[in-house]
Structure 1
Amino acid sequence: MRILEIIMQTNDLNETENFYTNNLQLELVEKKENTISFMAGETKLTFEKTTHNENPHYHLAFNIPVNKLEEAMKWGDHKFELVLNQEQGYITTFAKWKAKSFYFYDNNNNLAEFIIRTDLNNHSDEAFSSKNILNVSEIGIVSDKPLELAEQIVKQTGIDYFSKESKLENFVALGDDNGLLIIVSPNRNWYPTDRKAEKQKLSIRIKTDETEITLHLNELGMPSELSEA
Structure 2
Amino acid sequence: MQLQTLCLLAPDLPQQKHFYGEVLGLPTQLLPTEELEVHLGFSRVVFRQAVPGTKPYYHFALTVPHNQLQAAYGWLAARTPLLPFLNGEPIADFPNWQAQAFYFYDPAGNILECIARFELPNATAEPFGPTHFLGLSEAGIVTDNVPRTGATLAKTHGIPDFCRGPKLPNFAAMGTDEGLLILTQEGRGWLPTGQPAEQHWLRLEGSHAGKSFTIEVGPNT
Say which SS state the counterpart of residue 175 (structure 2) adopts: strand
Write the letter of the residue equivalent to 2:102: F
* Structure 2: distance between partners of 1:207 and 1:197: 25
Deviation string, structure 1 residues 107-162 (Cα, Å, up to 9, x no partner)? 11100011000111311010000100100110101001011001001001111000
Q: Is the 8 A contact 1:104 1:112 kept in 2?
A: yes
Deviation string, structure 1 residues 20-54 (Cα, Å, up to 9, x no partner)? 00111111144346311011111011000012412
Match of 1:135 in 2: 135
Say which SS state the counterpart of residue 115 (structure 2) adopts: strand
Deviation of 1:214 after TM superposition, in Å, equals 0.8
Match of 1:227 in 2: none
Match of 1:126 in 2: 126
* Structure 2: distance between partners of 1:105 and 1:80: 8
Runs of 4+ in 1 over 2 A off after TM superposition: 29-34
Q: Which runs of 5+ in 1 are unaligned?
A: 221-229
Match of 2:67 in 1: 67
Match of 2:176 in 1: 176
Match of 2:23 in 1: 23
Deviation string, structure 1 residues 51-101 (Cα, Å, up to 9, x no partner)? 241211100000000110111111111322200111212101001000000
Match of 2:96 in 1: 96
| Corresponding pairs, count | 220
Q: Which runs of 5+ in 2 are unaligned?
A: none
Match of 1:112 in 2: 112
Deviation of 1:166 after TM superposition, in Å, equals 2.4
* Structure 1: distance between partners of 2:127 and 2:176: 27
* Structure 2: distance between partners of 1:52 and 1:137: 30
* Structure 1: distance between partners of 2:118 and 2:90: 18
Alpha-carbon RMSD across the aligned residues, in angstroms, is 1.3
Counterparts of 1:161-200 in structure 2, within 5 Å, are 161-200=161-200
* Structure 2: distance between partners of 1:166 and 1:38: 30
* Structure 2: distance between partners of 1:210 and 1:130: 28
Deviation string, structure 1 residues 161-209 (Cα, Å, up to 9, x no partner)? 0000121011011101111010100121001112001101000001112
Say which SS state the counterpart of residue 76 (structure 1) adopts: helix
1:204 aligns with 2:204: yes
* Structure 1: distance between partners of 2:207 and 2:129: 26
Instruction: Select between 153-162 and 48-57 the one with higher mean Cα deviation.
Output: 48-57
Instruction: Select between 25-34 and 190-199 the one with higher mean Cα deviation.
Output: 25-34
* Structure 2: distance between partners of 1:166 and 1:102: 20
TM-score scaled by length of structure 2: 0.96
Q: Is the 8 A contact 1:30 1:38 kept in 2?
A: no
Instruction: Select between 95-104 and 69-78 the one with higher mean Cα deviation.
Output: 69-78
Q: Is the 8 A contact 1:199 1:219 kept in 2?
A: no
TM-score scaled by length of structure 1: 0.93
1:149 aligns with 2:146: no
